[in-house]
Amino acid sequence: MISLYLPGTSPIHRAPAWLKLLVLALGAIVLSLLPNSWGLAAAAFLLPALGYAAAGLSARIMVRDLRAMLLLVVFLVGTQLIFSPPLAAVCNTARVLAVVLLAQVLTRTTRVQDMVEVAQTCLRPLRRVGVSPTAVGLAMALAITSIGQVAGIVTQVRQAQRSRGVRLAPWAWVMPVLVQTLRHADDVGDALQARGAAD
């Protein structure tokens, strides 16, 4: 499976995983509590940009991440405008994008194993009520690495379609990506079952 982690020596790379997870959680809470304003919308984009810069991640990576969320932005703004005024729709969407982009900074600067270890440490007290930290850690690792896998599938499908030189509808890549993603999920399930980790 593919990891989104990019090796580096930035201060964010060197920071412990628990601290980065804590900052992400606090950032999400603060953004959700601040009142709607155009200043909040601007700050919600500025904060991830500073995070990318501090992590030594190029503007091209951030733009690529934003492009990958274009459909999400359209969906969020469209649905929000049905029930909320324009300012609220923009601010709510900006909050979601800011948290997702900050999470991208986290996954690109933190090894999956480090995040899994933090989760397992936090969940150890819950063993008494039947929660398995190991199982939760495995699920977390699979979820994080599968994001990179799906992103790789999307890239491969889009490149294959461009190489054919055939102009297709913008959504023509969805079905091939869905098929390959389901195939990947089956392969992962078979591998877990073979190793006895699916119980």
- Over its C-alpha atoms, the chain yields an Rg (Å, rounded) of 19
pLDDT of residue 56: 93
pLDDT tens digit sequence for 72-83: 788 888 888 888
Give the domain extent around 121: 112-199
102 and 79 within one domain: yes
160 and 93 within one domain: no
CA distance 116 to 112: 6
Q: How many domains does the chain have?
A: 2
pLDDT of residue 10: 93
Question: Is the model's pTM score more than 0.85?
Answer: no
Q: Which residue has the higher pLDDT, 144 or 98?
A: 98
The winner for highest mean pLDDT among 54-58, 109-113, 139-143 is 54-58
CA distance 198 to 123: 20
46 and 142 within one domain: no
Give residue for tokens 């007290």: 125
Sign, Cα dihedral of 47, 14, 66, 97:
negative
pLDDT of residue 29: 92
